[in-house]
Structure 1
Amino acid sequence: MAASAKVRLWMYQKMVTARLFEERLKLAYLEGKQPVFNMAKGPLPGEMHLASGQEPCAVGVCAHLRADDCVTAPHRAHHVAIAKNVDLRRMAAEIFGKATGLSGGRGGHMHLFDAAVNFSNSGIIAAGMGPAVGMALAAKLQGRDSIAISYIGEGAANQGAFHESLNLAAVWKAPVVFVIEDNAWGISVEKRESTAVERNSIRAQGYDMPGIFVPGNDADAVYEVAGAAIERARAGEGPTLIEIETHRLEGHFMGDAEKYRPPGEVARLQAIDPIPAYRQRLSASGVSAAELDAAETSARELVDDAIASARAAPTPIPADALTCVFI
């Protein structure tokens, strides 16, 4: 099923919101870290993984979801969180380590959790797959038609949790959709140097579930494939594995020198940036420049508000470090 004009404009706005949000995070992250890069300095110390270029993977799937559908995601997850309607103010505050954050500043950008829309992500590779299968099974046992989505990178397809989760999902006919964002790089290792098969989607055959590859980093194509997989899951027909060709415009983390990239690769990927390409496609389909500009303005206002709110938010009380922990 093709996306309606309204849904396509929603996808465009979400993609722009994700990109602008990460551009602002990038500026904040680099504060205090220049001219000599020191990961511990500035208002955002530690690692920072940006998803610029991978936005179609998020919107094409999440456009089909409800608040009661569960989503787990990996460390590079801002775009998915935004597409799943995670509270942007609280998410920004969490990333800035503020008391008003999703988890009071305890989790940071790799451990976001918003119970209101059933979203979570983890810095541990493939860690969200098992919980996604469990949440899908819970919905099935309770007689609900909600589903679970598990996002992973292509490197996670070589983890034991990947195979265990696919196997159990198939055995239980759990209403879960596994989404692989294949950006061709596992940190600094090319996929072809670490993975025995050309396409991870073919691994679905070993677990008796459909496996679909979506080329071109195309939001509309992702929407159509995801729609069929999600409809199948809601109907009680079991899991699906979707592999999406996508591109990472930034390094694995902020500060990554990216010496492993072949010469000219980044410039080539920037030339096929999915956001301006999608704007051109929408314009050619009859969406007015005024509508597209309004979507961009709305996205910028949301991001400006979230970042300003996060910077102004209070820092956690030191004693709170001893709360919300298991002993």
Structure 2
Amino acid sequence: MSYKVEPLPKGYAHLGESPHWDIEKQSLYYVDIEAGKLLRYDYQQDKVYVAKVPGVELASFIVPVEGEDDKFVIGDKRRVLVVSWDGISDSGKIDRVLFEVQPDEKYVVNRFNDGKADPRGRLFCGTMVYVGDEFKNRWGELYKYEKGGKVTVVKTDVGISNGLAWNEKTNKMYYIDTADYEVKEYDYDFNAGVPSNPKVIFDLHKSSPKNNLLPDGMTIDSDGNIYVATFNGHTLYKVNPTTGKVLLEIKFPCKQITSAAFGGPNLDILYVTTSAKFDQPSPAGSTYKITGLGARGLPMSKVQL
């Protein structure tokens, strides 16, 4: 297969995460977590816009709001906020706090990590320890926000809450806790928004624990294959979740691959975020586009408030 990996112009994010393709805007939204920045890549202009929202310290994910132009939900520490941003200005503003989790003093070292809306517009997002040992202190949780304001704890005992994907054809949900070194598949009731019966479908454990691959963000294509980013592996794996077989290993010139999302006018361009944490050398932190994969993604859902 002849595919091409190219960096976006000025698409740098020190800790890039949570890519979301907005079909209406023909734009890729993503975040630079520790810088607290929101980014938008405009496909038509081939240009990246960056904004800082006053009052936001850690912008961990960004998902557009259904039916409200220039409104987004973002994670900031242990809060989920509704923010306004026109996608062009270098600043946005907080409209309100949608909800907050883990208020106890013990969890002051926690923050939200990845977040995404399921095909019915429910927001799933989870927390992790960001000061201390997130592999030892499994203080994270996975949450679900439903239209109208109901917030439910979906899973406790989470190390690093990460990648999410859904397949409506097979009634499945996929979820990554990086600290488990694996991808789990759940049966998913789309009417109730409830995952059940988890099973491991992609195991990234190695013979030596220090060599375990760290699965990070994830996306899915229209054939039901998942694409799993590895934070310490230079690689994005295309996996058949039914067989667990790796169909393709997409290699990058940097180590920390954080997440991926299909976009472009035909949903056939794979956009990939990376990280430059821990003094990674250039081109770490670049955001990439991959063309020529011969695959198409599924439309990403906005949050229904």
Whichever structure has more helix as a proportion of its residues is 1
TM class by shorter-chain length? Answer: 0.3 to 0.5
TM-score (norm 1): 0.31
Structure with more strand by fraction = 2
Highest Rg: 1 or 2?
1
Larger RCO: Structure 1 or Structure 2 (Cα < 8 Å, ≥ 6 residues apart)?
Answer: 1
